[in-house]
Amino acid sequence: MPRLILAALLCLSLPAAAEEVVLGLSSDTVSINTNFDGSKILVFGAIKRDAPFPEEPPMEVIVTVAGPSQPVTVRRKEKMFGIWVNTDAVEVDSAPSFYAVSSSAILPLALSDTEDVRHRISIPRAIRSVGAPANIANSETFTQALIRIKSRSNQYQLNEGTVSVDEQTLFRTSIALPAALTEGDYQTRIFLTRGGSVVAQYETSIYVRKVGMERWLFTLSREQSFLYGLMSLAIAIFAGWGASAIFSLLRR
Amino acid sequence: MQIYLPIAEVSVNAFLLLGLGGIVGILSGMFGVGGGFLMTPLLFFIGIPPAVAVATEANQIVASSFSGVLAHFKRKTVDLRMGTVLLIGGLVGAALGVMVFNYLKAQGQVDLLVKLCYVVFLGVIGGLMFFESLNAIRNVKKGKAPKRKKHNWIHGLPLKMRFRVSGLYISVIPPLIVGVLVGILAAIMGVGGGFIMVPAMIYLLGMPTKVVVGTSLFQIIFVTAFTTMLHATTNFTVDIVLAVLMLVGGVIGAQIGTRIGVKMKAEQLRILLAIMVLAVCGKLALELLLQPAELYSIAAEGH
């Protein structure tokens, strides 16, 4: 009997090797220049197969884009002595600065729970939280709050049904990057699923970089901070003097 | 027109910032306050990270104060001697204040303390000024002469010095103490401290209102320049693009404000400043008292 199950499992996993993702991106770099006001990235690709594709269960595509992760602290306010004060805090070990999940069907349909745990695909799974201090009750509300606040500013996006799949072979979707974007490598993953389990995946990176003046100023502020400070002051003094001089000219 | 700020890492509308800078600049020129206590909350509101807002605001205050003080130098309404005494006190106070600030930060709750500081100081100062200038306006209407030079305990202190521009002959100890106290508060609250300095100079030192504004601006330049350098070198939070946008509006506003200021009566100037201070105080108090729409907040990188 166990041998039979093993054989069945082998049969199930066989198509995984048979399907492969070939990916295209509208651009693999996003340049942040002075008039940067958000960007759209087109993710498209095809599925390469060695054998004719199985009809059932239907294939679904999930695309995730994750910005650089960092630890964040989520605080909760409570009323004390009549005023609202930050009381409890939960440290989330690692939360991406940006995270978008796009899928061809609603996520519970395209992805089983076990696969979600394994690949950290859905937004709550993408956030890593080792656990809150024991003295804080219902600590999961803190992660929920993090997702809620980030979603409101489009930093976290769940776009169900936005990946269009043609002929079970071609897929494409577009992901809107908000204007408030942090620099870094944005890990982009594409998952092919059948019946909720991942049969193929592909990973690449989108490079988000400051360019031109943005780049120069940022580097200067980190590496030559004293000079940068003096420059800021010089500009301030010069602007103050300039306005004063222009106005006294105007009065004459 | 959207502009991406390299340090704040957000994209904002350039004209909005120019406008805000201009309004705050007008107030700065009129009242001799840096405007930090108004601008910083406004920057929070449009989505600039608090650390960047506080640091960049200091830089902008340097510009608008410099622009304003030049206009006052032309009218000879800056008491350099008094300004220097206040400045010495102010720098000592700022250094002490940074130490107090770091201690509070280690204890947590620094946000709350800063806000409470604001509410208490803005409330007390705004309230006192409001009623005092209201009385002064009434007295002027009744035809009573305003009595300014009171002889109190301050005149009994040693180390007397003549402050010609202010028309005072008093001990240097009170201005030094005022300087230190304002410096401490300025460092804790992340502002130039003009809104505390101006009333202190009028009511504690008995300086004429017209001289107070220029002198306050004079010392604010140095205190905020010091703060800017501190933030730029330790926290890397000064956003030069944000600063330029605000200060272009700010310096123009400061010039206009100074011209409005000299045309107005001293009591009117004081009552307007009082109303403004009370309004900000009321807004902050409401924030503490009313239930916020979002109970949770996110802070990056620990703490």
- Indicate if ipTM > 0.95: no
Distances (CA, A) of A75 to A87, A146, A180, A197, B57: 7, 10, 22, 36, 26
Domain ranges of chain A: 9-210, 211-252
Given a cut of 60, whether residue B141 has pLDDT beyond it is: yes
Strand partners of residue A207: A29, A185
Q: Work out the average pLDDT over B139-145.
A: 68
What DSSP assignment string belongs to B31-90?
H---SHHHHHHHHHHTT--HHHHHHHHHHHHHHHHHHHHHHHHHHT---HHHHHHHHHHH
Strand partners of residue A175: A41
Q: Give residue A99's pLDDT band: very low, low, confident or very high (50, 70, 90).
A: very high
Q: What is the rounded CA–CA span in Å between residue B32 and residue B34?
A: 6
Amino acid in position A148: R
The predicted structure's pLDDT at residue B248:
85
Q: Tokens at residue A151, please? A: 């979603």
pLDDT mean across residues, chain B: 78
Q: Give residue A15's pLDDT band: very low, low, confident or very high (50, 70, 90).
A: very low
The predicted structure's pLDDT at residue B151:
55
Ranked by mean pLDDT, which of A221-235, B121-135, B136-150, B275-289 comes out on top?
A: A221-235
Strand partners of residue A92: A72
Of the candidates B45, B21, B65, the one whose C-alpha atom is nearest the C-alpha of residue B258 is B65
Q: Work out the average pLDDT over B277-300.
A: 78
What are the two backbone dihedrals, phi and then psi, of residue B120, each rounded to the nearest 5 degrees? -65, -50
- B247 burial (CB, 10 Å; 0-12 / 13-18 / 19+) is buried
The predicted structure's pLDDT at residue B174:
82
- The 3-state DSSP class for residue B219 equals helix
Beta-sheet strands, E only, within B110-171: 160-163, 168-171
Given a cut of 60, whether residue A17 has pLDDT beyond it is: no
Q: What is the rounded CA–CA span in Å between residue B219 and residue B197?
A: 10
The predicted structure's pLDDT at residue A11:
41
| pLDDT above 70 as % of chain A | 87
Range with the poorest average pLDDT among B103-107, B209-213, B284-288: B103-107
Max Cα distance, chain A (Å): 102
Q: What is the rounded CA–CA span in Å between residue B239 and residue B226?
A: 16
Given a cut of 50, whether residue A12 has pLDDT beyond it is: no
| Partner residue opposite A240 with nearest CB, options B7, B9, B66 | B66
The predicted structure's pLDDT at residue A1:
42
Name the helix (H) or strand (E) containing A204. strand A197-210
Q: How many A/B residue pairs have CB atoms within 8 Å? A: 187
**Which residues have CB under 8 Å from B127's CB, separation 6+?**
B274, B278
Question: Hey, is the C-beta of A83 within 8 angstroms of any chain B C-beta?
Answer: yes
Q: pLDDT tens for residues A189-201?
A: 888 888 888 888 8
CB contact under 8 A, A179 and B289: no
Q: What is the rounded CA–CA span in Å between residue B258 and residue B67?
A: 10
Q: Tokens at residue B160, please? A: 């007397």
Question: Hey, is the C-beta of B296 within 8 angstroms of any chain A C-beta?
Answer: yes
Strand partners of residue A166: A170
CB contact under 8 A, B71 and A181: no
The predicted structure's pLDDT at residue B2:
80
- The 3-state DSSP class for residue B196 equals helix
Q: pLDDT tens for residues A161-179?
A: 888 888 888 888 888 888 8
Q: pLDDT tens for residues B8-52?
A: 878 888 898 888 888 888 887 777 666 777 787 778 778 787 778
What DSSP assignment string belongs to A71-131?
EEEEEEEEEETTEEEEEEEEEEEEEESSEEEEESS-HHHHS-HHHHHHHT-SHHHHSB---
A-facing residues of B in 229-268 (CB < 8 A) are: 229, 231-233, 236, 238, 240-241, 243-244, 247-248, 251-252, 254-255
Q: How far separated are the first and last CA of chain A, in Å rounded?
A: 102
The predicted structure's pLDDT at residue A16:
44
What are the two backbone dihedrals, phi and then psi, of residue A86, each rounded to the nearest 5 degrees? -65, 120
CATH topology of domain A9-210: Immunoglobulin-like (2.60.40)
B-facing residues of A in 217-236 (CB < 8 A) are: 217-218, 221-222, 225-226, 228-233, 235-236
Q: Give residue B302's pLDDT band: very low, low, confident or very high (50, 70, 90).
A: very low
Q: What is the rounded CA–CA span in Å between residue B74 and residue B63?
A: 17
Residue listed under structure tokens 């009385």 = B135
**Bigger pLDDT: B59 vs B155:** B59
